[in-house]
């Protein structure tokens, strides 16, 4: 079946602009996670959704970062006023019924 | 808090050599333990898992045993292939299907 889909696969933006990253989880998966992968920082947890609510937002690095999920499915991660240190690969994962996380291929964000 | 520490890379081996990538963890309770693999240009994939002490996870010739007494989950393979070249991540979750906490990743390069 279809896996976790993320779009765009690559995004180049100018410093100060806002960006939106999209994640389509595996159908029926109620849990959705966002992670950030950057050189020297490994994989950092950002936020976790169960359904449409986010019980754990502890990894969001600043108030420029926000995320929402609608219909228990698609999620968008928004970064406002992007900075160069936001450059990274943003990964989305989903799971259901205590199964292991399934990851998408990520969005590579480059802030110039 | 919970954390995962894995040996630093890069690790360079010749084909058919024995592989060990060390992973130790710090956690309260009884976490589930995972190894994920990221092949060049691809997303993270679950390689194997173990959910309780003394469990052995195995897949594609790789094995790891959940050792509670040493808080370790070392990854081993008896004979590596060039196609095993990838970055390997050790991870834990406090609850099944829950948020993953990752180690820094270990890059493996296998030469013919």
- Residue-wise pLDDT for B8-45, tens only, equals 889 999 999 999 999 999 998 889 999 999 998 888 99
Please name which of A95, A58, A38 lies closest in space to residue B2, comparing C-alpha atoms.
Answer: A58
Q: Shortest Cα distance from A106 to chain B (angstroms)?
A: 7
Residues B49-62 have a mean pLDDT of 95
* pLDDT value of position B42: 87
Read off the pLDDT band of B99 (50, 70, 90).
confident
* Contact residues on chain B for A98, CB-CB shorter than 8 A: 95-97
Residues of B in contact with A103 (CB under 8 A): 36, 43-45
Please tell me the distance in Å from B38's CA to the nearest CA on chain A. 10
Residue B95 pLDDT class (50, 70, 90 cuts): confident
What pLDDT score does B6 carry?
A: 94
Q: From chain A, pick out residues whose CB is under 8 angstroms from the CB of B104.
A: 42
pLDDT of residue B34: 96
**Mapping DSSP to helix (H, G, I), strand (E, B) and coil, where does residue A79 land?**
strand
Which parts of chain A sit beneath pLDDT 70?
1
Contact between chains at B105 and A42 (C-beta distance less than 8 A): yes
Specify the pLDDT at position B98.
80
Residue A80 and residue A20: Cα distance in Å, rounded?
9
Count interface pairs A-B at CB distance under 8 A.
45
Separation of alpha carbons B9 and B35, rounded Å: 16
C-beta atoms of B42 and A105 within 8 A: yes
């Amino acid at each position: 079946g279809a896996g976790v889909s993320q779009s765009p696969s690559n995004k180049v933006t100018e410093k100060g602009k806002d960006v939106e990253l999209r994640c389509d989880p595996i159908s029926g998966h109620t849990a959705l996670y966002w992670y950030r992968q950057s050189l020297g920082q490994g994989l950092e947890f950002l936020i976790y959704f169960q359904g449409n609510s986010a019980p754990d937002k502890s990894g969001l690095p600043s108030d420029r970062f926000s995320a929402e999920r609608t219909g228990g499915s698609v999620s968008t991660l928004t970064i406002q006023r992007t900075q160069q240190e936001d450059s990274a690969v943003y990964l989305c994962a989903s799971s259901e019924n205590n199964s292991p996380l399934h990851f998408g291929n990520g969005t590579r964000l480059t802030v110039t | 808090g919970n954390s995962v520490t894995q040996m630093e890379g890069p690790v360079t081996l010749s084909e058919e050599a024995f592989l060990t990538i060390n992973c130790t963890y710090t956690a309260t309770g009884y976490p589930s333990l995972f190894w994920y693999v990221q092949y060049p240009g691809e997303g993270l994939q679950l390689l194997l898992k173990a959910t309780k002490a003394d469990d052995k996870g195995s897949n594609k010739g790789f094995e790891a045993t959940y050792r509670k007494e040493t808080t370790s989950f070392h990854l081993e393979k008896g004979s590596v292939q060039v196609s095993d070249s990838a970055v390997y991540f050790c991870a834990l979750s406090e609850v099944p299907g829950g948020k993953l906490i990752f180690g820094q990743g270990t890059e493996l390069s296998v030469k013919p």
